[in-house]
Amino acid sequence: MYSIVIEVSNSFGMFADPSTGSEATSFILPPPSACKGIIDAICRLRNATVNIVAVGICRPPAFENCTTNSYSSKRKSDLQRKGAPTQLHETILSNPCFQIAAVASGPLNPINQGHSLQKQIYRRIENKQSYWSVSLGRSEFMANYVGLPKTKICEDVNAIIPGMPMGNIVTRRENKRIEVRNGIARFVETPAIFVEDGIIKFKEKDGRVI
């Protein structure tokens, strides 16, 4: 397995907590599916597998109220007849910044897919390139920074998320209790990660995660 650690930030972000209903409130950090989407937007190899290990919160969680117009087919019938939108009231993240730690793996032949993905991701963020636009939960919340970690984790952030979706529509969404401890949410319990000078790092040997 090969390590991937990147930082993403923006003025706003939205990772809706399903338990908050129609007037959604964002989680304080992106769930694994959103993190994988961010990595896939930078680079994706068909035979490589990406597993999200942890997320570090680099700025104290802050929220803003947001109202948007929606033309969803689920709005009231009279609004649909008039061609009028319905208003959605949400609570979104303000000025979010995260470190995302993941591992890449895959077949070794004809090339080492995991190692290739790691190299391509770091090369693309160095060149400010991506396959798709990188956003924080919503397409309109395009990241203003995608690169190597430079903002230290807020180690005074501690929280409990009672139920965070750990899958997606394809793999089935199973909620899991997530603990944010010293600014880090660990989705996989592993001794392979540690924090040094506010940056998530992996224990490695010969370029591979131990």
Which residues, other chains included, contact 154 with Cβ-Cβ below 8 Å and sequence gap of 6+?
57, 58, 59, 60, 183
Give the per-residue pLDDT at 170.
52
The parts of the chain modelled with pLDDT lower than 50 are: none
Give the per-residue pLDDT at 172.
58
Give the per-residue pLDDT at 71.
77
Give the per-residue pLDDT at 168.
59
CATH of region 2-18+27-62+95-203:
3.30.70.2660
Q: Which two tokens stand for residue 23?
A: 């007037």
Give the per-residue pLDDT at 83.
83
Q: So where are the chain's domains?
A: 2-18+27-62+95-203
- Radius of gyration for the chain, computed over Cα atoms and rounded to the nearest angstrom: 18
Give the per-residue pLDDT at 173.
65
Give the per-residue pLDDT at 13.
96
What is the C-alpha separation between 69 and 67, in angstroms, rounded?
7
Indicate the average pLDDT of the chain: 90
Give the per-residue pLDDT at 145.
96
